[in-house]
Amino acid sequence: MTFFQAQQWAFSYVDEYQKDHEAVDLLLLGQMNWSLTDLLMNYQTEMTTSELSLFQENIKKYCQDYPAQYLLKKASFFGRDFLTNEATLIPRYETEELVEWILDDHAGEVLKVADIGTGTGAIGLTLKCERPGWQVTITDIASETMAVAQANAQQLAIDITSVVGDLFTPLKDKYDVIVSNPPYISEEEKCYMDQSTLQYEPERALFAKEDGLYFYRRIAQEIKPYLNPQGELYLEFGFQQGPALIALFEKYHPTAQITLKKDINGHDRMLKVKFM
């Protein structure tokens, strides 16, 4: 079977399960470490038995809701591949906008940055890749998750500090910028979630108590000793949580400047708190 024939078979197969054609190309290109141009140039090339077997197996697993990124053991973020497995949340495209906001706000500056609850390391490691002069520390509560982030740092050949612990507890310094994309989904929202996410991604990286606000409240209460004067906090949050987060930070930090930012779809999804 040629690569073209395998792609067409996969399109037909995923159609039966009402799944996305984009995942077919993601799985095929990811398996072969190809660009789309590489695939087009090899359309008439015969797949080896092992290549075809793996591709068909992955397509079938994908149609049973297994995430394509876990099948490939990698996910793309900000133009780089990050090792990803069931110990980590899969990096989302929307989070790239949070990284861009930090980079745009601090062009030409040299910063000390902490990424809290780093997961794969996507945020903190990307900031370090884009700004090699920055000092970046990443934290996560789970050692198995931190092992993935550390492997990503090694793969990207960057020098960062990594510490395991709950939120700010492992930090020993003060920072110019602290960024976090903490768990923020409430238990009541499970019924609206994609089955693939619910079944395979780690619950501790998704759900939070107090209507999804638990970690934001703790961050608001605990952050001040870890920031330099006029330090800044950047957060990602659920698109309906903006008003609650503003109220939360106004309660604990009445003199801080709070800014919401919309994502590419026009939803409030990011927040910056500048402490005075």
- Positions at the binding site for S-adenosyl-L-methionine: 117-121, 140, 181
Residue 135's beta-bridge partner residues? Answer: 112
CB 216 within 8 A of CB 182: yes
Q: How far apart are CA 234 and CA 236, in angstroms?
A: 7
Tokens 């069931």 correspond to: 86
Q: Which residues are documented as binding site?
A: 117-121, 140, 181-184
Residue in 260, 142, 273 with CA at minimum distance from that of residue 220? 273
Q: Which residues of 174-201 are buried (b: 16+ CB within 10 A; e: fewer)?
A: ebbbbbbbbbbbbeeeeeeeeebeeeeb
Q: How far apart are CA 35 and CA 254, in angstroms?
A: 50
Q: Which residues are documented as binding site for substrate?
A: 181-184
Tokens 């995923």 correspond to: 14
Query: Which amino acid would we find at residue 161?
Result: T
Question: What Å distances lie between residue 271 and 131, 201, 243, CA to CA?
Answer: 21, 25, 11
> What pairing do the DSSP bridges indicate for beta strands 175-180 and 227-236?
parallel
Q: How far apart are CA 268 and CA 82, in angstroms?
A: 26
Residue in 178, 174, 162, 268 with CA at minimum distance from that of residue 215? 178
Residue 179's beta-bridge partner residues? Answer: 115, 234
